[in-house]
Structure 1
């Protein structure tokens, strides 16, 4: 217990110190939201990776999909690395930075307003972000709480409140720069921790070969005639695996808290470097998480059952419960790091969107920069408090909404944002239609289950958007030539040296 407490105190102390150190980088709106658009490759790459992979991935998804698909779940982590990180940086990174800088856009809703010349689109996008990010924020506490209860035997609400308070302090004080620096530190902990945990867990099963042999002997409920289903290349359910890869990998292309990282990066050189760093980080962390989860079936029994059903969130904590105290302490810090980095990114995105886009575009149009900065800090506290309330005693509809938040956000934003960066022919109407389709598919499936799960519905919503936007754009009125010239800078301007 002493080892675990010492690690916690050191971790908490370093987070607060970084928040205080970064306060000089949060004196105006641009600094608070974007770090002055001068954040380097390493900080941005780690901020992207740590925002991507939270306790939901390490505890929830790794246990759930590892239990369902076995070793083949490692493909989810590789998909996250090469589709969700590498390709996202290559396709979106440079273009997002240059266009948002030219349009003086600080948030995704602000981008939609200036790209498509529509204040209504900005307000609608900010409302979508508020509705679907809040339950997603609340969801990241659950996996953390199970690990804390296993390691410290403390109540769930204490874990939630402590993590929320600490995150709130350093985000309010230091803004985006404090988040980015903390993400870097937390990312290093995640890299070291996941490698150490994989080695320890496999050694506990007699080594990699022995663990594979044990796993190959387990029969799959969904593919009873398939021998060694959980050690096969694509697992017992390749179609289900495919949809998980699409949702968790392609989804990052349309999530505002992920795209936001490209707004803040320093220059093109930093993007090239960050692409490599981000991909390697994702291979190790996400690939490692899902690889570890692939051995979930070896840690079954009553400990992961409740009312005759498997509790997926209990699998990874049960798997780790037999580790030495030092490793359990490292795991706690690892999951804390993953959770706090994602939480800080989500509340910063939510508060800036609500302040600058929703209220700033409606009832508080004449707000000063100092007022905006103060209001964003207040909303950071508000969103953290709201997420704590929802996490401690979640209503049934919120619990359902958490399952579709990723799909609804990415289904709404991915296609219009991607096409909007490159294609002059995207119309305002196509964006509206895609918002309706993205939310419609995921929410409708919640009440009338057309698709087998929210994951499949979310993946379908994203793929549908990639078809809907170009088709609707071909048959609806185009934007004015003046707007297009402004957005795509025709004729080209003399580039700012900072853009090179």
Structure 2
């Protein structure tokens, strides 16, 4: 019954957060940006919980950790250093300063102001909405086996997760999401540390040294830092999930909201520590899972027909009941945090960049906030429907979304912050190249190919050089516009 106790406490906390933060919402800035006054610890936890969803504990740990062992630690290195530390170091302060000065509250609105293009704003808003909503549906996927292990109907769990997310977003917007992220982040850290401790103490694992020797006896490749079998899938996934955070709107949104440029320094270190704990824990859990099921035959004998079943099964047989129940809340917390970030990103581009920006509807601040609240609820419902209705097309969009969205946005955003010579024509060429690489790779290799993470990484990196090359041969912006964008005075 532990899981019912923990779930009841968790639901009560979320309802309490929605109630308390409702009174703090005075306008669109509060609802979408937290008044640009979020303290560094909350910013860091909000960034981390949006970064790492339940997929890292279920799909990633069960598939990559079991298959490759120690080499999955390269993903820990990438996510910690590139995806967290360098993201805050390079983008944090600059994004906060420039978006506040230009009055940009979303990624498309920043690109519109930076490149003087309403068409660019509309296209990027469409890309964000079209690919992030199906991606939000994936947050529900892979949790079925975990819920069933606790005797909970997956449908009931989906409804609970969607309802709680909709409630605290509707009433408290980003302020509620940030406070919830902090609570959920604490749950994630405690849960991961407990899982690592109890699994490491299990006789099947035998501590760190025992883990290495036992893995080596199964297959020496499992303890080789990098090898021929793991190089492409591991490095491709490490780059995809590390560099990808630099161009995803739900991640960049955290930089807009931080209290000050100085606070970004503190947030950088907190976020880096959080990323290391979560990613190391997930990689460790996946790696030791191989000791419980050494080969495909042992998995089949245990009825583990999907990689998503491995971690839930290990929780059932190797963790105390109360720890397993806490991990259940951990997974729901991770899912809700990522879902809330995706929903806020999607609702904001529709209300700010499409309704007000493209349709030029003269909405008051109050009506804009009402629209955003309704859109948050609508997008949660839409993601829920997409999650429960079997649809291979939606699953394909989900698999493409990370590389495609970040590939289209990273180069225009990053170069827009730092390189004055970037032109509108260069940006259009970069977006076109990202679409061509990602869609072409999916067509050539197949959506489920082990090469797709590498294709996604290429779709994010190559457009940077495309944008630079085309910008150098096209007409630059006039001096007045460049001064307006980059002159802090």
**Residue matched to 1:422:** 418
**Residue matched to 1:213:** 213
Q: Which whole-Å CA distance do the structure 2 matches of 1:375 and 1:382 have between them?
A: 10
Q: Which whole-Å CA distance do the structure 2 matches of 1:305 and 1:351 have between them?
A: 43
**Residue matched to 2:46:** 47
**Residue matched to 1:320:** 315
Q: Which whole-Å CA distance do the structure 1 matches of 2:42 and 2:212 have between them?
A: 37
Shift of 1:382: 0.9
Q: Deviations over 1:169-194 (max 9, x none)?
A: 00110010110111011111111110
The 3 A distance-change label for structure 1 pair 303 and 257 is farther
The 3 A distance-change label for structure 1 pair 296 and 439 is farther
**Residue matched to 1:145:** 144
Q: Which whole-Å CA distance do the structure 2 matches of 1:194 and 1:390 have between them?
A: 29
- Residue from 241, 245, 248 that aligns with 1:252: 245
**Which deviates further from its counterpart, 418-427 or 319-328?**
319-328
**Residue matched to 2:259:** 266
Q: Which whole-Å CA distance do the structure 1 matches of 2:327 and 2:216 have between them?
A: 27
SS at match of 2:326: helix
Q: Which whole-Å CA distance do the structure 1 matches of 2:92 and 2:363 have between them?
A: 31
Q: Which whole-Å CA distance do the structure 2 matches of 1:350 and 1:26 have between them?
A: 20
Shift of 1:211: 2.6
Shift of 1:269: 2.0
Shift of 1:444: 2.3
Q: Deviations over 1:452-495 (max 9, x none)?
A: 53212111101111211111111112122221111112xx41xx
Q: Which whole-Å CA distance do the structure 1 matches of 2:347 and 2:298 have between them?
A: 39
**Residue matched to 2:166:** 168
The 3 A distance-change label for structure 1 pair 372 and 332 is same
Q: Does 1:400 align with 2:396?
A: yes
Q: Which whole-Å CA distance do the structure 1 matches of 2:275 and 2:190 have between them?
A: 13
Cα RMSD after superposing both structures: 1.8
- Residue from 215, 226, 245 that aligns with 1:234: 226
The 3 A distance-change label for structure 1 pair 108 and 353 is same
Shift of 1:446: 2.1
**Residue matched to 1:27:** 26
Q: Which whole-Å CA distance do the structure 2 matches of 1:91 and 1:310 have between them?
A: 43
Q: Does 1:278 align with 2:271?
A: yes
The 3 A distance-change label for structure 1 pair 270 and 244 is same
Structure 1 unaligned blocks of 5 or more:
220-227, 494-500
Contact kept? 2:137, 2:386, Cα under 8 Å: yes
Count of residues in correspondence between the two structures: 481
Contact kept? 2:45, 2:181, Cα under 8 Å: yes
Contact kept? 1:304, 1:311, Cα under 8 Å: no
Contact kept? 1:43, 1:183, Cα under 8 Å: yes
Q: Does 1:378 align with 2:374?
A: yes
Contact kept? 2:422, 2:471, Cα under 8 Å: yes
Contact kept? 2:74, 2:235, Cα under 8 Å: no
**Residue matched to 1:243:** 236
Contact kept? 1:75, 1:287, Cα under 8 Å: no
**Which deviates further from its counterpart, 413-422 or 209-218?**
209-218
Q: How does 1:183-198 map to 2 (within 5 A)?
A: 183-198=181-196
Contact kept? 2:236, 2:451, Cα under 8 Å: no
Structure 2 unaligned blocks of 5 or more:
none
Shift of 1:440: 2.2
Contact kept? 2:42, 2:179, Cα under 8 Å: yes
Q: Does 1:367 align with 2:359?
A: no
Q: Which whole-Å CA distance do the structure 2 matches of 1:91 and 1:418 have between them?
A: 9
Q: TM-score, normalised to structure 1's length?
A: 0.93
SS at match of 1:294: helix
Contact kept? 2:441, 2:452, Cα under 8 Å: yes
Shift of 1:303: 8.1
Q: Which whole-Å CA distance do the structure 2 matches of 1:26 and 1:353 have between them?
A: 19
**Which deviates further from its counterpart, 45-54 or 385-394?**
385-394
Q: Which 4+ runs in 1 deviate beyond 4 A?
A: 301-306
Contact kept? 1:299, 1:315, Cα under 8 Å: no
Contact kept? 1:72, 1:294, Cα under 8 Å: no
Q: Which whole-Å CA distance do the structure 2 matches of 1:342 and 1:461 have between them?
A: 23
**Which deviates further from its counterpart, 366-375 or 179-188?**
366-375
**Residue matched to 1:223:** none
- Residue from 461, 464, 480 that aligns with 2:462: 464
Q: Which whole-Å CA distance do the structure 2 matches of 1:304 and 1:125 have between them?
A: 43
Q: Which whole-Å CA distance do the structure 1 matches of 2:436 and 2:390 have between them?
A: 23
The 3 A distance-change label for structure 1 pair 111 and 292 is same
The 3 A distance-change label for structure 1 pair 270 and 461 is same
Q: Which whole-Å CA distance do the structure 2 matches of 1:353 and 1:454 have between them?
A: 28
